[in-house]
Amino acid sequence: MLSAASEGIAADDALHPERRHEDIGELVTTFVEKSHYSHIIVNDDLSSRVMDHFLDELDHNRMYLLASDIDFFEKYRYRLDDIVRSEPLDPVFDMFSVYRTRVRERFAVALHYLESEPDLTVDEDYQFDREEVEWAKTTAELDELWRKRVKHDALNLALTDKPWDDSQEVLQKRYRQYLKRMDQIKNDDVFETFMNAFARTLDPHSSYLSPRNSEEYRIQMSLSYFGIGASLQTEDDYVQIVSIIPGGPASIDGSLAPKDRITGVAQGTDGVMTDVIGWRLDDVVDLIRGEADTVVRLQIIPAGALPGHNDKEISLTRGQVKLEEQAAKSQIITVPRDGRDWNIGVIEVPSFYRDYRALSNGDKNYTSTTKDVRRLISELEEQGIDGLVMDLRDNGGGHLTEATALSGLFIDNGPVVQLKNANGRINRLDDPNPVAHVAYNGPLAVLINRFSASASEIFAAAIQDYERGVIVGQETFGKGTVQNLYSLDQYLQPEGDDGYGQLTLTIGKYYRVTGESTQHRGVSPDINLPSPIDAELIGESVRDSALPWDTIPTSRFRAGEPLDRTIDSLTASHSERAKNDPNYQYLAQFVEDDRQTRAQKTISLNIDTRRKQREANMAKALQRENERRAALGLDAIASLEELNEDERPDVQLDQAAGIVTDLALMREVQRIPAQTVQVTP
């Protein structure tokens, strides 16, 4: 095997712990043991789990470290609790140094393989998903893995019709960028990686941010920069979309989604695409940010797509997150049924927002979700709606006060959610305006998906528990925990400009009025709808450190008439309609095809095989699209490039509107007085 030195790569530049790192570790341990909801004890058992998380942070896909390295690290498995509490952090940095050496060795090998053009006609496969495999035992085993890795990277470029010389140059730059990234790592980066492994062992939402990343977080939360309105993180070699900020350019455009991976960034409409695979997160962020109203182009691998199969390019115009775009908005869907048109109102709620600054300044016209929704309901009723859909898809939450207030628009009065803290104390949060009449008491459905989280789950659960409406869509995310942010500079005196960063810690859990937690399980819909979001990849239940589902005593509340029989009837009607709905069948088949694609863990390294697979996939997609169009009486298209995205139906929303129409029909039937027949003798 080639050594790092053979490529002229810099030797380890002695990363080391600093005195303030030990102070931070000691303070974080104190916070964890005193304040975390689960009453964590930092002991040997936790230390072992932290070790597994740290290794996962370093080498998630098992591409760099050897089994002998893992064996060497075992001597630290039950020492990490002592290290984070009070002992020197040298073992952590020693483990990272071994990892960095292995990364340098691997890319030296990769650069060596690039010296000759790979044979893309050989029939062999590459296992790109190695999360569950054993650690490589020999360097020869890793060499073979990396031979295929390099060939795979070259094949992806060849599929875009790049000649070998161009592909070679792109990959040389990419691999050297990886090495540059290793050389740029600082002491704080190593410490943050370890402390995040420690925090994420407690639960998925506890975390530590270094001083530099704390400032980045502050900038993002202030929305004072111009970018695309998306939260990013590094995952293996890629920068990945974590979430889309409502009201931002990415949200308005609609092309980006969580779990999409960014492979390239270009400036303007015709700038050269810069390959960013392997880059530091902050360097990619710097490329994406820019002056307002300028264009940035992103090359992405869509979430769940196989490497190299479905890369696409999107253009976004940079801008600030616009508060008006975050606001709730309405529309009316017309549903023909039984010889008449039914008008179904739809209110989309992207987030639970409240302008606290305006409120504190005494502005009675402050912006809030509840105020906006109340106004929209009034406007819709003036137009004569027969039912209402509250669309909470992709709503990741927001202000708890707005979740309880919004629930109050649909229930008379009573508790909305319960909050239990680490001391076991339970607080009940009621409808904040119980004397006000409900804003709407007609047929109601709440539309949810896997990205509906936190405050969205509180609202949906309240509507379900009070039997006020029907919940339709997909099981929600399952985030039923409460976090507190601690700025560590307030507890430790900063030395110079270094600072200590910040800790986010889970301190409580939410519970429904029934006493059931929304944590882990989320809110289950009364009527399921197909969704392209894979619940086996996304959601609280996917995370191994997620806090469990549990219950507390039921709060006293008065629900409406049970909806069990109504839901059975609605489900039967919906299922019958779905059988004959081309759009519904198209979505259901797309979801199934996507699931099968994501189940693959290997991919062919034969270019002819890959081309045939790609052509077959495109032909299949075109066939399904034209079958849908034929069933709807639309003209066929010759290519998917002709497809206008505006033509894509919102199947879930249409189905929700149909279900609300059923509710409206039921209500109308119930209002029809019994007929009397006069019998003449």
Report the alpha-carbon distance of residue 181 to residue 175 in Å, rounded: 10
DSSP state of 210: -
Between residues 21 and 283, which one has the greater pLDDT?
A: 21
| pLDDT at 274 (0 to 100) | 87
Active site residues: 454, 465, 479
Average pLDDT over residues 348-377: 87
Please, are residues 443 and 388 in contact by the beta-carbon 8 Å criterion? yes
Q: How many CB atoms neighbour CB 493 within 10 A?
A: 9
Measured between its terminal Cα atoms, the distance across the chain in Å is 107
The domain over range 323-579 is classified in CATH as 3.90.226.10: yes
Task: Give the confidence band of 240 by pLDDT, cuts at 50, 70, 90.
Answer: confident
User: Can you give the pLDDT at residue 577?
Assistant: 95
Question: CB neighbours of 601 closer than 8 A, spacing ≥ 6?
Answer: 127, 128, 129
Question: What is the SS3 assignment for 455-471?
Answer: HHHHHHHHHHHCCCCEE
Mean pLDDT of 473-495: 91
Q: What is the mean pLDDT of residues 312-332?
A: 81
CA distances from 78 to 45, 307, 531 (A): 7, 38, 43
Of the two residues 651 and 230, the one the predictor is more confident about is 651
Contacts of 159 (CB under 8 A, 6+ apart): 308, 607, 610, 611, 614
pLDDT of residue 434: 79
Burial grade of 61 (CB within 10 A; 0-12, 13-18, 19 or more): middle
Give the start-to-end residue ranges of the domains of the chain.
Answer: 4-202, 224-317, 323-579, 582-671
Which pTM was predicted?
A: 0.86
Percent of the chain with pLDDT strictly greater than 70: 92
pLDDT tens per residue across span 550-598: 999 999 999 999 999 999 999 999 999 999 999 999 999 999 988 888 8
* 471 phi/psi in degrees, rounded to 5: -95, 125
Please, are residues 289 and 225 in contact by the beta-carbon 8 Å criterion? Answer: yes
8 Å CB contact between 214 and 502: yes
Q: What percent of the chain has pLDDT over 90?
A: 67
- For 546-556, how does the pLDDT look when each residue is reduced to its tens digit (9 = 90+)? 999 999 999 99
Identify the three-state secondary structure at position 493: coil
pLDDT reported for residue 298? 93
- Please tell me the distance from the alpha carbon of residue 662 to that of residue 573, in angstroms, as a whole number: 8
Give me the pLDDT at residue 671, please. 65
Note the pLDDT tens digit of each residue in 490-540: 898 766 667 899 999 999 999 999 999 999 999 999 999 999 999 988 999
Q: What is the pLDDT of residue 322?
A: 62
Cα(329)–Cα(378) distance, rounded to whole angstroms?
13
CA distance 46 to 66: 24
Instruction: Give the angle 449-455-457 at the CA atoms, nearest 5°.
Output: 45
- C-alpha span between 358 and 368 (Å, rounded): 10
Residue 301 reports pLDDT greater than 50: yes
Task: Give the Cα separation of 544 and 295 in Å (integer).
Answer: 39
Task: Give pLDDT, residue 216.
Answer: 61
The one-letter amino acid code at 5 reads A
Query: Which region among 183-192, 213-222, 307-316, 334-343 has the lowest average model confidence (pLDDT)?
Result: 213-222
- What is the reported pLDDT for 159? 92
Asked if residue 415 has pLDDT above 70, the reply is: yes
How far apart are alpha carbons 115 and 1 in whole angstroms? 15
**pLDDT tens string 260-298:** 889 899 999 889 898 888 787 778 888 888 888 899 999
Answer whether residue 233 shows pLDDT above 50: yes
Average predicted confidence (pLDDT) for the chain:
89
Longest Cα–Cα distance in the chain: 112
pLDDT of residue 596: 85
Residue 320 has pLDDT above 70, yes or no: no
* The predicted structure's pLDDT at residue 310: 63
The whole-angstrom separation of Cα 656 and Cα 662 is 10
Least confident span in 33-47, 308-322, 460-474: 308-322
Q: What is the pLDDT of residues 656-680, one digit of tens each?
A: 999 999 999 998 877 654 433 333 3
pLDDT at residue 304 in the model = 67
- 224-317 folds as Pdz3 Domain (2.30.42)
Query: In this structure, which amino acid lies at residue 108?
Result: A
Return the minimum-mean-pLDDT range out of 308-312, 381-385, 390-394, 644-648.
308-312
Higher pLDDT, 213 or 668: 668
Give the pLDDT of residue 367.
84
